């Protein structure tokens, strides 16, 4: 079974998937099946192994990893059984994002600039990072991995991120100016040096950014409609919503706009982009107006 797993992983990786989690899970399952003297996937064994997960969501993820492997390998090896993928009945829940207003983002940036030490680089690092995330919709991991060489005259070069994709992210002139001001203050290093650094000059860590951002959210008094605190990741949701609001009119042009947005955000398909959208009052108003215009055109025709 291990040989079939290795072939499966290699094929998936050639299409851009990292497969690190899948590799861990499938090799664990193969060892579990081997203890039972099995060389083919059997439904009961797959369910028993998946049931070792500590939560429903993890049990579901374990079983689905096996199911994806079986669907591939059964093309040549029909002896493998395909377990029911929904055996554990887990459902992925989407956490309602907080869509930041322009005023809230401005307050976060201003509060970041007041961080201590006020004459150090830290306030400018945090403020520039927040502004960059809100204006580009970058994943926080992508922003933290940026190097000096990735800041080009054509935009930001985002190298081999999710699904091993590399893309160019053009920047608005104001974003370019803000980033250049930060780099001038930071001091240019070698091409391989990270753009965002902490006080000792090391790459800025996610946990430090998150903790600082959470404190800033509390300090400026931003509250979500849900019981949970607004997140750093919600800046990406906010960008997607604002980008859709800026879509040109017309069904065809809006479709092309969404396809461009999906590419800009680094999604492999447009469904992932839809995940980031949230029905804000402004967006619903725009949808209603577009609907009324469509109906009016139909009546006049």
Site of tokens 């000792």: 200
Please report the pLDDT score of residue 132 as a whole number.
Answer: 98
β-bridge pairing 155-158 and 167-169: antiparallel
Residue 162 bears catalytic tag: yes
Q: What is residue 26's predicted lDDT score, i.e. its pLDDT?
A: 97
Closest CA to 50 of 32, 36, 37: 32
Task: Quickly count: other Cβ atoms within 10 Å of residue 283's Cβ.
Answer: 16
Q: What is the overall mean pLDDT for the chain?
A: 92
Q: What mean pLDDT do residues 116-134 have?
A: 96
Whether 91 is catalytic is no
Q: Which residue is catalytic, options 12, 72, 139, 167? A: 139
207 pLDDT band (50/70/90 cuts)?
very high
Out of 8, 100, 182, 276, the active site residue is 276
Is a pLDDT exceeding 70 seen at residue 163? Answer: no
CA dihedral 168, 17, 25, 4 (to 10 degrees): -160
* pLDDT given for residue 24 in this prediction: 96
The verdict on whether 24 is a catalytic residue reads: no
Exactly one of 74, 162, 165, 231 is catalytic; name it. Answer: 162
Q: Which of 236, 237, 242, 264 is catalytic?
A: 236
What share of residues in the chain are helix, strand, coil (percent, to 5)? 60, 5, 40
Is 210 marked active-site?
A: no
- Residue 93 is given by DSSP the state P
80 included as an active-site residue: no
28 pLDDT band (50/70/90 cuts)?
very high
- Supply the angle between the helices 56-73 and 43-50 in degrees, to the nearest 10: 150
Residue appearing with tokens 């999906």: 262
The CB density around residue 25, as the number of other CB atoms within 10 Å, is 23
The pLDDT, as a whole number, for residue 286 is: 77
Q: Which of 1-10, 35-44, 224-233 has the lowest mean pLDDT?
A: 224-233
d(CA 216, CA 139): 19
| Average pLDDT of the residues in 282-296 | 78
Residue 233 is a catalytic residue: yes
Q: How far is CA 175 from CA 131, 136, 146, 148, 181, in A?
A: 8, 9, 15, 16, 10
- What pLDDT digit, counting tens, does each position of 208-233 carry? 999 999 999 999 999 987 778 999 99
Q: What CATH number has the domain spanning 102-229?
A: 1.10.443.10
């Amino acid at each position: 079974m291990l040989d079939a797993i290795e072939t499966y992983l290699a094929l998936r990786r050639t299409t851009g998937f990292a497969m690190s989690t899948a590799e861990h899970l499938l090799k664990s399952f193969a060892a579990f099946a081997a203890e039972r003297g099995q060389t083919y996937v059997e439904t009961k064994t797959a369910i028993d192994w998946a049931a070792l997960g500590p939560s429903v969501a993890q049990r579901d993820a374990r079983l689905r990893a096996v199911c994806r492997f079986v669907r591939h390998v059964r093309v040549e090896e029909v002896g493998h059984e395909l377990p029911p993928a929904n055996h554990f009945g887990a459902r992925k829940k989407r956490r309602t994002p907080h869509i930041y207003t322009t005023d809230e983002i401005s307050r976060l940036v201003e509060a970041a600039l007041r961080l201590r030490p006020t004459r150090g680089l830290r306030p400018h690092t945090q403020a520039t990072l927040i502004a960059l995330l809100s204006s580009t919709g970058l994943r926080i991991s992508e922003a933290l991995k940026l190097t000096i060489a990735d800041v080009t005259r054509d935009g930001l070069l985002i190298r081999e991120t999710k699904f091993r994709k590399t893309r160019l992210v053009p920047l608005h002139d104001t974003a370019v100016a803000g980033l250049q001001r930060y780099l001038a203050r930071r001091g240019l290093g070698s091409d391989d040096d990270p753009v965002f650094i902490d006080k000792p000059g090391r790459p800025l860590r996610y946990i430090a950014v998150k903790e600082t951002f959470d404190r800033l959210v509390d300090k400026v008094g931003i509250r979500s409609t849900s019981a949970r605190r607004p997140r750093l990741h919600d800046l990406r949701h906010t960008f997607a919503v604002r980008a859709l609001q800026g879509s040109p009119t017309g069904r065809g042009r809006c479709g092309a706009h969404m396809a461009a947005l999906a590419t800009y955000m680094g999604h492999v398909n447009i469904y992932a982009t839809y995940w980031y959208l949230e029905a804000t009052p402004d967006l619903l108003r725009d949808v209603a107006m577009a609907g009324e215009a469509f109906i009016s055109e139909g009546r006049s025709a």
